[in-house]
Structure 1
Amino acid sequence: MRSIKDETLGMWLGVLGVAMFAVTLPMTRLATGPQEAPQLSPWFVTLGRAALAGVLSAVFLLVTRSPRPAPHQWKPLGMAVLGNAIGFPLLLAYALRVVTASHAAVVTALLPLVTAAVAAWVLHQRARLGFWLCAIAGSLLVVVFSVLRASQGGHGFGFEWADLLLVGAVIAASLGYIYGAQVTPSLGAERVICWVCVMALPVTLPATLMLWPTQPVATASWLGFVYVGTFSMWIGFFAWYRGLALGGALRVSQTQLLQPFLSILASIPILGEPLDVVTLAFAVAVVATVVIGKRLSQPALPAPAPTRGLDDKRAHVVYRD
C-alpha cells in the first residue's frame, strides 16, 4: 500500500521527467531538421542517442557496481528497449521530418491515456470511473488545444502517414514506460534505464559509427542530438521510472498531459514560437484535470463484510438483555 508521501513524491518526479521529455520534440526537430533542410538522419538520431545513453549507462553501472538483472527481469527490460530506445524515437524522428512540432503534439497528447490503459492492462492497476473521465477530459483538452494551434499557424490537421508514425510512437512509448516501471521496484529507476541502454549498445554503437554523417551538420543540430541522448534518453528516465513506481503508473502517467504545453514553452527559445493567453488558459485547465484525477485515482473501497462471529455475539447479548 503506497503512502500519501510516496504518491506525492512520485507525482513530482513524474512532472520532472515529463519536463525533460517535453524538450524532446523541439530538440529532435532541431537535430533532424525539416524535410526541406535536413540535418541528421532519423536513424542516426535514434541509434545515436541510444548509443550515447548506453555509454553513459555503462559507466554508471560500473561505478555503482550494479548487479546483473535476474532472469525474469530480462523480458520487461527487452520490451522497454523496443519501446523507449528504438520504437518511440525512430517513429517520432521520421514524423518530425514531415510535420511540425504543433502537429505532432496533437497525437502525442494521447500518451497519458494510452499509458494509463497499458498500466491497467499489464500491471492490473484499477481506478474509479472519475479518474478515467478526467483522463479523457484532459486528453481532449490537449487535442483541442493542439488542433487550434495548428490551425492558427496555418498548418491544419489532416490525417496522413506521419500521423500513423506518431500513433505508433505513442503506443511504443507507453509499452516501454509500463514494462520499465514493472521492474523499477526491484532494480531501481536508475538501473532500469541504464540496463535498457546497455542491452541495446551492441546494436546502437556500431550502427551509430556506420551512420555517422559525412556532410556538414549545423552546431544547433548537434546540440539537439546531445540533449536527446543525455536527457531524453537517460537522465529523464531516472525521475520518470522512479515516479511511476512510487506514485503508481496509472496515476503518474497523467502528468504527461502537461508535456505538449511544456514543449511549446521550450519551443519559444529554441524554435522562436510565440506564447499566448490561450496556451496559458488551456494549461490551467489541463492541470486541473491532473489534480482532480489524482484525487479520484484510488479505487473505491468496498464496504466491509459483516463478521459472522461478531454479529452472533451481538445478537446473543441483545437476546439476554
Structure 2
Amino acid sequence: MLAFLGVLAFSGSFPGTVYAMQGFDPWLVAIGRAALAGIIALICLKAARLPLLPPRHQWPSYAVISLGVVFGFPVFSGLALNLGASTSHAAVVIALLPAATAACAVVRAGERPRPLFWAACAAGAAAITAFTLTRGQAGAAWPDILLVGALLSAALGYTEGGRLTRTTPGWQVISRTLVLSLPLTAVITAVLALTTPITPTAPSLGGFAYVALISMFLGFIPWYVGLARGGIARAGQTQLAQPLLTLVWAWFLMGERFGPATVAAALVVLACVAVTQRTRT
C-alpha cells in the first residue's frame, strides 16, 4: 500500500510536466522542480534538527539516486514530451520500469525473485506496453531514446533509494538527496530563469508545483519505504498500474478518451501485480 501511494503520486508526473512546459522552458521545469523540492527538504531537515549531509560512506549511493531521479528521469522524460511524445506514449516507459527495477534489485540489492515472479512481471509489462502502444503515435527516434534514458535513470535511483531506506527513514533519504543536489540545481535554475522565456499561467504554475512538491519530494516518502519493507523487486511491481493511472489523469485533465480496452488492460495488470505480491523472494 505504501508503494502504491508513491505510484499514485508519480502517475500525475507526465500531465503535470506537460502543463508546466506551457509556461516554462523544458530545462527549467526539469531542474527547477528539484531546486524547489530541495529548499523544502532543507527546511524539513532543519526543522527536525537532523544532519543535512549523510555519512560519508553513503555519498556514492546518494550520488546514484541524484543522477537517477533528480537529474536523469526529469530531464530525459521532459525533453521527450517536449519533442512530441504524447502522455500515453511516454507511459510505455512506466510499463517497462518495474521490470528494470527488479533487474537492478537483483544486481545491486541481492534480491532473488522466483521464476513465477519473473513470469508475472513479464506478462504485466507486455500487457501494458501493448495497450499503450496501440493508443497513439509510434514516436520518433529521439523521444524514444530519451524515454529509455528516463527508464534506466529511474530504475537505478529507485533501487539505490530502496537500499538506503532499509536503514534510514525514506523521507530523510530523498531529503538529503535533494539537499546534496541543491547547490547545482539552484544555480542552474537561477541561470535558466534569467535566460529563458517565462509566461506563467495558472495551469503551468499548477503543473510545476505538482512535479516539484509531489513527484520530486512527497511521493518518494511512501515509495522508498514500500520498496524497503516489501522488497525492491516485489513492491516495485505496483508501478505496473502507473500507466493506467496516468491515462486516467490524462482523461480527467486533458479530455483524452478511453473505452473497454482500458478496463481489460487494468484487470490484466491487477492480476499480474497480485501474482507478484504473492511470490516470495
TM-score normalised per structure 1: 0.84
Partner of 1:139: 125
Match of 2:209 in 1: 226
Partner secondary structure for residue 99 of structure 1:
coil
Counterparts of 1:196 and 1:29 in 2: how far apart (Å)?
25
Contact persistence 2:18–2:81 (CA under 8 A): yes
Gaps spanning 5+ residues in structure 1: where?
1-11, 34-38, 300-321
Aligned to 2:113: 127
Task: Return the alpha-carbon distance in structure 2 between the equivalents of residues 48 and 215 of structure 1.
Answer: 13
Mapped contact 2:99–2:237 kept (Cα < 8 A): yes
Bigger Cα Rg: 1
Say whether 1:250 aligns with 2:239: no
User: 1:76 — aligned with what?
Assistant: 61
Instruction: Give structure 2 stretches of 5+ with no counterpart.
Output: none
**CA deviations over 1:212-234 (Å, ceiling 9, x no partner):** 15442332111101100000000
Corresponding residue for 1:16? Answer: 5
Q: Is residue 203 of structure 1 aligned with residue 184 of structure 2?
A: yes
Report the CA distance between 1:146 and its aligned residue: 0.3
Give CA-to-partner distance per residue, 1:151-195, whole Å, 9 cap, x none: xxxx2x145111000001000000001111111122210000000
SS at match of 1:211: helix
4+ residue stretches of structure 1 with deviation over 3 A? Answer: none
Aligned twin of 2:78: 93
AA in 1 matched with 2:131: F
Task: Report Cα offsets for 1:52-81 as digits up to 9, x if no partner.
Answer: 100000000001111342122111111000
Instruction: Find 1:40's aligned residue among 24, 40, 53.
Output: 24
Displacement of 1:49: 0.3
SS at match of 2:165: helix
Give identity over the alignment, percent.
39
Give me the CA root mean square deviation: 1.2
SS of 2:200's partner is coil
2:148: which partner in 1? Answer: 167
Which secondary structure does the structure 1 equivalent of 2:215 belong to?
helix
Q: What's the CA shift for 1:116? A: 0.5
Correspondent of 2:160 among 162, 173, 179: 179
Q: Match of 1:25?
A: 14
Q: Which amino acid aligns with 2:110?
A: H
